[in-house]
Amino acid sequence: MGTLLHFGLGNFARAHLLDYTDQAGGWDVVGVSLRSSSVRDGLARQGFEYDLCVQGQGVRRIKVLRDVLVAPEDRAAVFDVMADAEIISATVTEKGYHLDAAGKLNLRDPAIVADLAGQGPATLIGILAFGLAERRKPVTVLSCDNRMENGKTLETAVSDFANAAGLDVNWDAVRFPNAMVDRITPATTDAVRAISGDPMAVPTEAFSEWVIEDNFAGPHPDWQGVQLVDDVAPHEMRKLRMLNGAHSLLAYAGLERGLTYVHEAVRDPVLRPLVSGLMKDAGATLPAALQAQVMDYAEALLRRFENPELAHRLDQIAMDGSQKLPYRFVPTLRETGSQAVIAGVRAWISYCTSETAKGRALNDPCASEIDAAVKQQDPLVPLLRLVGAEDLAPLIRE
């Protein structure tokens, strides 16, 4: 029996990592909420079990959760579990890494500044750094977030924090494998709750993929269907540039056209060819070994996007654009000059401008910077600077 400590119990984690671990058996999961107690409270009322509603397959009861801790309530309890867990994993979304435009830990981020000042820690990065400094036996820290080289990125952020805080971490005993995760998981709706009868139910698609770098410090669950590989990068590129890139294009351009869901946007006669073009251009940037997969993968993605039962909201995908565009849009644009990606970037700029003009606060860690940028006479360059693409302004302006 092993213990896996997981930070970030949103719907994706409950549909992906917890599902795999529940089916593997032999392990317990202790979840950590970094802010709100709402997920803990809801799950505690039903013994930390919940229904996973898999489209086309039915309902599966997930029973792998042993407990859920709320970090602001009891950090000591979190550190106690960290001291013995074989695996520490995380799904905190892109903004939970507190990185700057260059991909380094933003030591001026107010949350990181507060952690360094001894007020907490409250962030994933701060908690990991302090917890690892108290631990000497081997541990695997497994990122399950949508970032290129997510393990390496997380390791660098934690290392930067530890250095700034003067913490002594036994890095030889810690492994940060890269991983690619994929399972479309929308927000839970009242309709899903009504169908399952579970207020904490999670809806998801039948498709699921998980590719992990075979770089563990110790044991791991016998996850069925997981690919353990030497190099995750090609799989990350395929997914982030094709699937996630297409999702972001559909989100911003679809909202601009007054649409609500992915399945509506992908059937739109204007957006459909744009999405196909983006996938083709993104596919052209992939390693030669994956080129033969591009067409079939693109067709499979379109079928997944067309699924109306998922009711995947565009505004859910649109959040945190400043964190997503640097690896969903920018590499493809740099390598191909893709007109479809240019349309996507323009749609993001339009979305930022429109939301700000309507007085709606953007759900983005760079919301204040975006707000300042769109109020300038020429917002293009300052907006592109936020995603590391200011040099591409002439392409976007044409």
Q: How many CB atoms lie within 10 A of CB 37?
A: 14
Residue type, 163: N
Q: Please report the beta strands in the chain, taking only residues with DSSP state E, as ranges in sequence order.
A: 2-7, 27-33, 50-54, 58-62, 65-70, 87-90, 139-143, 174-175, 179-182, 202-204, 209-213, 227-229
Q: What secondary structure does DSSP assign to 187-219, as a single string?
A: PP-HHHHHHHS-TT-EEE-S--EEEEES--SS-
Enter the DSSP assignment of 172: G
* Ordered alpha helix ranges (H), 37-196: 38-44, 75-82, 110-116, 124-133, 150-165, 190-196
Q: What is the pLDDT of residue 17?
A: 98
pLDDT value of position 101 = 75
- Specify whether the CB–CB gap between 31 and 9 falls below 8 A: yes
Residue 313, SS3 per DSSP: strand
Domain made up of 234-397: CATH architecture = Orthogonal Bundle (1.10)
- Residue 153, pLDDT > 90, answer yes
- pLDDT band at 102; cut points 50, 70, 90: confident
Rounded to an integer, the average pLDDT of 135-150 is 95
Give the C-alpha separation, 231 to 220, whole Å: 18
State how far the Cα of 373 lies from the Cα of 352, in Å rounded to an integer.
Answer: 10
What mean pLDDT comes out for the span 233-245?
96
SS3 66: strand
Across 109-134, average pLDDT: 95
Residue 257 in tokens: 């056209």
If DSSP codes are grouped into helix, strand and coil, which group holds residue 252? helix
Average pLDDT, the chain: 96
Tens of pLDDT, residue by residue over 306-353, are 999 889 999 999 999 999 999 999 999 999 999 999 999 999 999 999
Alpha-carbon distances of 268 from 21, 328, 392, rounded to whole Å: 38, 21, 28
Interatomic CA distance for residues 6 and 44, integer angstroms: 16
How far is residue 197 CA from its own chain's centroid?
A: 28
Using an 8 Å Cβ cutoff, are 126 and 161 in contact?
Answer: yes
Three-class SS state of 268: coil
What pLDDT shows up at residue 118?
Answer: 86
Q: How does pLDDT run across 258-271, given as a tens digit for each residue?
A: 999 999 999 999 99
CATH topology match: 2-230 vs 234-397: no
pLDDT digits (tens, 9 = 90+) for 110-122: 999 999 998 789 9
pLDDT higher than 90, residue 195: no
Give the separation between CA 345 and CA 253, rounded to whole angstroms: 9
- Cα→Cα distances 21→26, 56, 102, 313, 357, Å: 8, 21, 34, 27, 45
pLDDT at residue 398 above 80? no
* Domain edges within the chain: 2-230, 234-397
For residues 269 and 275, what is the distance between their CA atoms, to the nearest angstrom? 11
Yes or no: say if 279 and 290 are a contact pair by the CB < 8 Å rule.
no
Position 119 scores a pLDDT of 78
- Per-residue model confidence (pLDDT) at position 203: 96
Pick the CATH number of 2-230 from 1.10.10.60, 1.10.760.10, 2.60.120.620, 3.40.50.720: 3.40.50.720
Token readout for 312 is 């995947």
pTM of the model: 0.93
Span 49-62, pLDDT tens digits: 999 999 989 999 99
pLDDT band (50, 70, 90) for residue 150 = very high
